[in-house]
Amino acid sequence: MSIRHAAVALSAAACFSAMACSRPAESPRWPGGTLVDLSHEYSDQTVFWPTADPFKLEKVADGMTPQGYYYAANNFATSEHGGTHLDAPVHFAKGHWSVEQIPLDRLTGDAVVVDVTAASGRQPDYRAATGDFTAWEAANGQIGPGAIVLIRTGYSKLWPDAAKYLGTAERGQEAVAKLHFPGLHPDAAKWLAETRKVKAVGLDTASIDYGQSTLYESHRILYERDIPAFENLTNLDRLPARGAIVIALPMKIKGGSGAPLRAIAILR
């Protein structure tokens, strides 16, 4: 090879190297692992708050068409706050995020699962306390900023028996006073929001506040800080104390105070 040809080859190699170095970094790949469904299905058996309209599915078509092919279609109607669903901050905090305004990164992230099934089994009105979270940290390490905290009460196993899951199967405003199920203590909600800077909180009961709440303080504490909640989750017993990734994507309802939620976990 002549000196001239060698110089051209070196120049081309340098140019190619510079181009390769200037390429944008590839986006992170979708994490691999076992997928766990954290959502209950919607049907006429779905548990709803006593004052909320239940899920309805209206069959529009189901059969063979005159042209010889099969066709199915339905209409559905549902309250925002029933089944496995998301509470948007605006649900209890005026002027805060509605469903479509919640950034996606607040709905995805590393999960920590705090198990309070023993206490909840003894006391239907149990409220997960700050001590439950500090005890979890003593065994598993500190809850990092941006974590999604999931509270496992064990109540998912009672679904869809409303009498056992909610404390009453009665419907209407008068039934609200008869609700009994675990939730999150307001002091713990404030501690998670202010000292651990969590991005979302979820649990396997019908409400972040326990059934006998009348002021819904934990809702207000979280939502005033734009921390959304996931309610009526399931399969939390399949998740480790830490290490799973949660992806919780609601129906994107403009102006919604809540929405049906398909939540999954990835076990790495």
- Residues 144-172: what's their mean pLDDT? 98
- Residues 218-245: what's their mean pLDDT? 98
pTM of the model: 0.88
Q: What is the pLDDT of residue 25?
A: 61
40 is a catalytic site residue:
no
What are the φ/ψ torsions at residue 209 (nearest 5 degrees)? -85, 150
Q: What is the pLDDT of residues 11-34, one digit of tens each?
A: 444 444 444 444 556 666 677 899
Domain ranges within the chain, ordered by starting residue:
34-39+80-267
Reply yes or no: is the peptide bond before residue 160 cis, omega within 30 of 0.
yes
Q: What is the pLDDT of residue 253?
A: 98
Choosing from 91, 96, 185, 219, the catalytic residue is: 91
Q: What is the pLDDT of residue 6?
A: 47
Q: Report the half-sphere exposure of 131 (CA within 13 A, side-chain side).
A: 3
Q: What is the pLDDT of residue 3?
A: 47
The CATH number given to 34-39+80-267 is: 3.50.30.50
Say what percent of the chain tops pLDDT 70: 89
* pLDDT, the chain, mean: 92
CA end-to-end span of the chain, whole Å?
53
Q: What is the pLDDT of residues 119-131, one digit of tens each?
A: 999 999 999 999 9
- Residues 233-245: what's their mean pLDDT? 98
Q: What is the pLDDT of residues 195-225, one digit of tens each?
A: 999 999 999 999 999 999 999 999 999 999 9
- Residues 97-103: what's their mean pLDDT? 98
Kindly report the three-state secondary structure assignment for every residue of 129-144. Answer: CHHHHHHHHHHHCCCC
